[in-house]
Amino acid sequence: MTERFDAIVVGAGHNGLVCAALLAKAGKKVLVLEARDEVGGAAVTRPFADGFSVSAGAHLLHQLQPKVMKALGVTVPLTNERLSTVALSGSGEHLFIDDHSVAGASDKDAEAFTEFMGWSDTFARFLNRQLMKPPPRLGSGQRKDTIRLARLGLDLRMLGRADMRDFLQLIGQNIYDELDARFDSELLKGAIALDAVTGTHTGPRSPGSLVTWLYRLCTGGHVSQPAGGLGAVSKALADRAEALGVTIQTGVPVDRIVVDNGRVVGVDTAEGRVSSWKVISNADPKTTVFGLVGARHFESTFVRRVHHLRSKGNVAKLHLGLDALPDVAGLRPEDYGGRFLLAPSADAVERAFNPAKYGRCSSKPVFEVCFPSVSDDSCAPAGKHVLSALVQFAPYDHEGGWTDVARADFLDGSVAALDEAMPGLRERILHSELRTPVDLEAEFGVSGGHWHHGELGLDQFMFVRPVAGAAQYRMPLDGLYLCGAGTHPGGGVTGAPGYNAAQVILERERSR
């Protein structure tokens, strides 16, 4: 391989594909190298038992951003465009949560919920406006950064005096106190608290958990289920990228990103060197710095920041092959196509988080559960079903390591908790697969097995995401860029990081 490319994208995760496709659309000759045999990264559908398949990483779509779909002309066929949310109650008095309303709660809570969602939306819309643009670089003295910063300030000011003040106040606040001030229903508080902290290493009482809640809403607020699982989204993006002229090679791991005289010159693979002045890493920042480039090519202050990036995953993925759907009292058949939250109270979420701080798993985990097979029969044999669950909390740094015993214990505990909420579930299990953060790390090559390639917290947000010195998709090494979930705005199958990275790269070319 002596061919030269305008850009090489390392990793065919959905952001890598978006970035590659946009560069190709702008006339660049782009190569995407993927270590695994299929594209998609953590947005992938794969079998986990005979006849059963599941979205093995992300299991629901929190909205591929319209701007991305429009720019690429991609549409994603959905089997369920808007999943309803059910907060499961042990007593059968479930809450049915829609975008802005809740059924099954007291009138007071129902009213408070609508008001809360309206309030949240105000700020989510503000964050939404920041999604599809690179964060300004502080103190660069450059005009475009000044303009970006001014726009951000203007956006904030446009919230109005009262809302702006609220926003500045809520930035460091936790979701627990906010929920406590607004609602009576423990179940409702539990459901929102869980959504606020899902995918992060925080409990509802951790500072900043209100912002993670808003982040969740700002990508669209609703969740969908793509036909064929999340892997289908990746395939659609890959097809579009190839149609635009991108060369995608799977099963070709990049051994290293080659640096010569202080700049990137290409990548080395088992098949040889591929040259390019630009390498865009879809891998997480730590893997990029330590695994692909090597610490020695960066300043030690920068390496230190990357090294200390908080990126230890805390979510396990549970896949069950079921003989039949569980029979939960109080649910109608159509409800099974929705999304279930198993968190009896905000305290239950916090208690589940407590042991995770000390490297232990939750003894009573909390769950987000869905049955993708209800609306998509391609993922299970006829009549059978798939349960896919996010199980919290399962720290990457398990105090004794994720031994077989530790896994079996956590699986037992999780199944027991599920069985309690969905009586009879246990007897219907044909197959089970538990994926701890360590497994997710191994499967997807994501350091720490973290969804967001790095904790989504205020200290790793916007201007400083993933770290200061690399928050504009550009690494402090000529020709090296990041385009993965580790960058602004973060994880979830949004395509935003990939889109923004492509904009930065093209913008830099134009300014030359």
Partner 1 sequence: MTEVHQGRLQTPFYSRFRAVDTLNEWHTWNGYTVCNSPYCADLEYFAIRNATAVFDLSPMNKYRITGPDAGAYLDRLVTRSVSVLRPGRVGYSVWCDHDGKVIDDGTIFHLSEGDYRLCAAGRHAAWFADAAIGFDVEIDDETADVAALAVQGPTSWSVLTRAGFEGLESLKPFGLIYTELRGRPVMVSRTGFTGDLGYELWMSPEDAGAIWDRIFEAGELTGIRAIGTDALELSRIEAGYLAPGLEFLPADETVRSGRSRSPFELGLDWLVDFTKPNFNGRRALAEEQRRGSTWRLVRLDIDGNKPAHNAYIFPRESRNKSDVGFVTSAAWSPVCKKNVALGTVRQPHGLPGETLWVEIYYQREMHWQRKMARATVVEGPFWAPDRRRLTPPSPY
Q: Which residues bind partner 1 (CB under 8 A)?
A: 259, 262, 289-290, 294-304, 307, 476
Strand partners, 96: 86, 103
Contact status, residue 359 vs residue 398, Cβ threshold 8 Å: yes
Backbone angles phi, psi at 450, to 5 degrees: -90, 130
In the numeric block, the tokens 């979830």 are attached to 492
We find the least distance from the C-beta atom of residue 264 to partner 1, in angstroms, to be 12
We find the least distance from the C-beta atom of residue 297 to partner 1, in angstroms, to be 5
Tokens of 142: 């450059």
What is the separation of C-alpha 440 from the centre of its chain, rounded to a whole number of angstroms?
A: 13
Q: Which is nearer to partner 1, 258 or 322 (CB)?
A: 258
Q: Which is nearer to partner 1, 9 or 264 (CB)?
A: 264
Q: Which is nearer to partner 1, 297 or 428 (CB)?
A: 297
We find the least distance from the C-beta atom of residue 49 to partner 1, in angstroms, to be 40
User: 264, 254, 256, 296: which is closest to 477 by C-alpha?
Assistant: 264
Burial of residue 335 (number of CB atoms within 10 Å: 0-12, 13-18, 19+): middle
Q: Which is nearer to partner 1, 286 or 488 (CB)?
A: 286
We find the least distance from the C-beta atom of residue 290 to partner 1, in angstroms, to be 6
Q: Which is nearer to partner 1, 79 or 447 (CB)?
A: 447
Q: Which is nearer to partner 1, 2 or 261 (CB)?
A: 261
Q: Which is nearer to partner 1, 76 or 293 (CB)?
A: 293
Contact status, residue 215 vs residue 409, Cβ threshold 8 Å: no
Biggest CA pair distance of the chain: 69
Backbone angles phi, psi at 95, to 5 degrees: -110, 135
What contacts 465, CB < 8 A, 6 or more positions away?
135, 454, 471, 486, 487, 488, 489, 490
We find the least distance from the C-beta atom of residue 277 to partner 1, in angstroms, to be 17
Helices marked H in 198-290:
209-218, 230-243, 285-286
User: 391, 396, 393: which is closest to 439 by C-alpha?
Assistant: 396
User: 257, 327, 325: which is closest to 293 by C-alpha?
Assistant: 257
Q: Which is nearer to partner 1, 289 or 322 (CB)?
A: 289
Q: Which is nearer to partner 1, 365 or 454 (CB)?
A: 454
We find the least distance from the C-beta atom of residue 296 to partner 1, in angstroms, to be 5
Rounded CA-CA distance 111/99 in Å is 13
We find the least distance from the C-beta atom of residue 440 to partner 1, in angstroms, to be 23
Tokens of 426: 């246990």
Q: Which is nearer to partner 1, 5 or 298 (CB)?
A: 298
We find the least distance from the C-beta atom of residue 259 to partner 1, in angstroms, to be 7
Rounded CA-CA distance 309/230 in Å is 27
We find the least distance from the C-beta atom of residue 288 to partner 1, in angstroms, to be 12
In the numeric block, the tokens 């549409």 are attached to 75
Dihedral sign from CA coordinates of 358, 399, 446, 39: negative
Query: CA angle 73-78-82, nearest 5°?
Result: 115
Q: Which is nearer to partner 1, 296 or 510 (CB)?
A: 296
Q: Which is nearer to partner 1, 255 or 419 (CB)?
A: 255
Helices marked H in 422-491:
437-444
We find the least distance from the C-beta atom of residue 312 to partner 1, in angstroms, to be 17
We find the least distance from the C-beta atom of residue 467 to partner 1, in angstroms, to be 13
Strand partners, 431: 321
SS3 of 378, please? helix
CA distances from 80 to 60, 67, 224, 324, 466 (A): 10, 21, 6, 20, 33
We find the least distance from the C-beta atom of residue 308 to partner 1, in angstroms, to be 9
β-pair type (7-10, 85-87): unpaired
In the numeric block, the tokens 């997710």 are attached to 440
